[in-house]
A = this chain, B = another copy of it.
Amino acid sequence: MLDAPEGAPDLAIAVLGCGTVGTQVVRLLTEHADDLGRRIGRGVRISGVLVSDLDKPRDPAVPTALLTTDASALIEGADVVVELLGGTTTARDLVLAALTSGASVVTANKALLATSGPELYAAADTAGVDLLFEAAVAGAVPVVRGVRESLAGDRVQRVLGIVNGTTNFILDEMTTGGLDFDVALTQAQDLGYAEADPTADVDGHDAAAKAAILASLAFHTRVALADVACEGIREITAADIAAARESGGVIKLLAVAERVPATADRGEAVAVRVNPVILPTAHPLAGVGGAYNAVVVEAEAAGRLMFYGAGAGGAPTASAVLGDIVSAARHRTHGGRAPAESASAALPLAGPADVVARLQIRLLVDDRPGVLAQVATVVAEHGVSIESVRQQVSDEGAAVLAVVTHEADEASLAATVEALRTADGVRRVLSAHRVERA
């Protein structure tokens, strides 16, 4: 049944780290060893599990005999190294050591890829081995393989993803319960959906790391974390969400990477950002609730594809890690390797003047004749045209205007918002959010 030569030793899988995901990976590797061996064409065995403390109590799925604190010895004998340590220092050193020694590497560590990606991709290329990371972007959702392989013959135009379950959960609670951000955050923390220090999630940094990875894959270019324009959800109010609902939409935190057309001055470029977006309810991402993740990929020939599933959790993340282990193990058995992350296109990053968007700007204005005309004039002066205006009377003799623009470049939109802050009759800019089409 196996395709490897008779008597070939089992492939040695070294697991670095034994937290929630590591425990599940060890459990699945052990329970499904026969099935995996058949799918790979060669037997597999866990050669060891790297931990920092041998005596800590652990899940019985992890045999004590496999535990080790000797990273070097573990990596040296491994065919596939599975990095589940997290962090960017020890993890980087060990992944580099593994690649250099000729082992294939599977990782779920988005921060590592966002900070040391180019160095690690280059090391994998030099060694001619795999560096696979399906679990780093959206948990069990197989979007990395989708973009890397299924769409390898197409041209990706845009990627839009809900890639952070914590913020999606908080926005859901705000939407269904009419809660303000602080209340919903506390609730998410109480339920264990948000950490005590929620910064990485709610300020969009986690999503930004994933956006950088997705953009690099989709556009065959190198995008670093620092290249991602990033805005979180702290400023979203219950009133923003109510206003979105009134206009038939929901607010989601999206990671967006898009191809920007060539101009007279430069070739094609790529723009990458994370920010709250108003999605019409008919958009496939609008219904993605709770801790689920989903990524829409728009490609020239394929049109709009969506990948949806559990974005976190031990077992779902382990499923993605196992899929990568099988791929890496098959390559070591039958030859071949996954498409390398060659930055063949090396697209430049687009500036705000290159990217177009539609904006919903909510303004608190004096409730008197002439203010709408004044607002419309300021918008028009910046070359932006208005698609719709809705007026709601508010409590204190002032009115709230919700202005939705037609598509315009971001630089003009930003200038419009700035000018509105000091426009005659405008008391305050309440919010300014991008609006997607269905």
A interface, CB within 8 angstroms of B:
1, 24, 28, 32, 35-36, 38-39, 134, 140-142, 145-146, 149-155, 220, 284, 287, 294, 299-310, 313, 315-316, 318-327, 330-331, 334-337, 339, 342, 344
Which residue of B is nearest A326, CB measured? B152
Q: Please state if A305 and B140 are interface contacts (CB–CB under 8 Å).
A: yes
Q: Are A336 and B339 in contact (CB under 8 A)?
A: no
Q: Using CB atoms, name the residue of chain B closest to A289.
A: B282
B284–A301 touching, CB < 8 Å: no
Q: Whose C-beta in chain B lies nearest to the C-beta of A315?
A: B301
Which residue of B is nearest A299, CB measured?
Answer: B319
- Checking B39, B145, B336, B337 against A150 with a beta-carbon cut-off of 8 angstroms, the contacting residue is B145
Q: Is the CB of A315 within 8 A of B302?
A: yes
Min CB gap A12→B, angstroms? 16
The smallest C-beta distance from A291 to any residue of chain B, in angstroms, reads: 10
Asked, given contacts A153-B326, A342-B38, whether A24 binds B301 with beta carbons under 8 Å apart, the answer is yes
Q: Closest CB of chain B to A17's CB: distance in Å?
A: 17
Q: Which of B140, B325, B336 has a CB less than 8 Å from the CB of A334?
A: B336
Contact of A142 among B305, B319, B344 (CB under 8 A): B305
The residues of B that contact A146 with a CB separation of less than 8 Å are 142, 145-146
Are B153 and A323 in contact, with the CB atoms below 8 A? yes
Known: A142-B150, A151-B319, A152-B326. 6 other contacts (CB 8 A): A32-B153, A152-B323, A154-B319, A301-B316, A303-B315, A334-B335
Shortest Cβ distance from A39 into chain B, in angstroms?
5
Are A149 and B302 CB-contacts (below 8 A) given A307-B307, A335-B335, A336-B335? no
Q: In the bound complex, how far is the Cα of B141 from the Cα of A334, in angstroms?
A: 27
Knowing A287-B287, A334-B337, A337-B336 are in contact, say whether A36-B134 is a contact too (CB < 8 A).
no
The smallest beta-carbon distance between A156 and chain B, in angstroms, is: 10
Between-chain CB contacts (< 8 Å), 6 pairs: A38-B220, A150-B320, A151-B319, A154-B323, A303-B315, A303-B316
CB-CB under 8 A for A326 and B149, given A32-B155, A154-B319: yes
Given A38-B344, A140-B305, A303-B310, residue A323 in contact with residue B145 (CB < 8 A): no
Question: Which B residue's beta carbon lies closest to that of A333?
Answer: B336
Distance, CA A324 to CA B150, complexed state (A): 7
A341 to B339, CA, bound (A): 22
Chain B residues, CB < 8 A from A327? 149, 152
CB pair A149 B335 closer than 8 Å: no
Q: Which residue of B lies closest to A36 (CB)?
A: B153
Whether A309 contacts B305 by the Cβ 8 Å rule is yes
Q: Among A140, A141, A301, which residue has the most Cβ atoms of chain B within 10 A?
A: A301
Pairwise interchain contact B319-A309, C-beta atoms closer than 8 A: no
Instruction: Across the interface, name the chain B residue whose C-beta is closest to A322.
Output: B153
- Please, which residues of chain B bring their CB within 8 A of the CB of A28? 153-154, 301
Contacts of A155 in B (CB 8 A): 32, 35
- 5 nearest A-B residue pairs (beta carbon): A336-B336, A153-B322, A335-B335, A142-B150, A302-B319
Q: How far is the CA of A299 from the CA of B316 in the complex (A)?
A: 9
Q: Given that A305-B141, A309-B305, A336-B337 are contacting pairs, would A323 and B151 also be in contact in the complex, using a CB cutoff of 8 Å?
A: yes
Contacts of A324 in B (CB 8 A): 153
A360 to chain B, nearest CB (A): 24
Select one of B309, B313, B323, B330 contacting A336, CB under 8 A. B330
Knowing A1-B344, A152-B39, A337-B336 touch, does A302 contact B331 (C-beta < 8 A)?
Answer: no
Shortest distance in angstroms between A293's beta carbon and chain B's nearest beta carbon?
Answer: 10
**Residue of B whose beta carbon sits closest to that of A304:** B309
* Known contacts A302-B140, A309-B303, A335-B336; is-contact A134 B150 (Cβ 8 Å): yes
Q: In whole Å, how far is A107's beta carbon from the nearest beta carbon of chain B?
A: 15
Rounded to whole Å, the gap between the CB of A160 and the closest CB of chain B is: 13
Q: Which residue of B lies closest to A147 (CB)?
A: B142
**What distance in Å separates the Cβ of A44 from its nearest Cβ neighbour in chain B?**
10
Q: Which residues of B contact A315 (CB under 8 A)?
A: 300-303
Residues on B with beta carbons closer than 8 Å to the beta carbon of A300: 315, 319
A319 to B145, Cβ gap below 8 A? Answer: no
In Å, the complex CA distance between A253 and B155 comes to 32
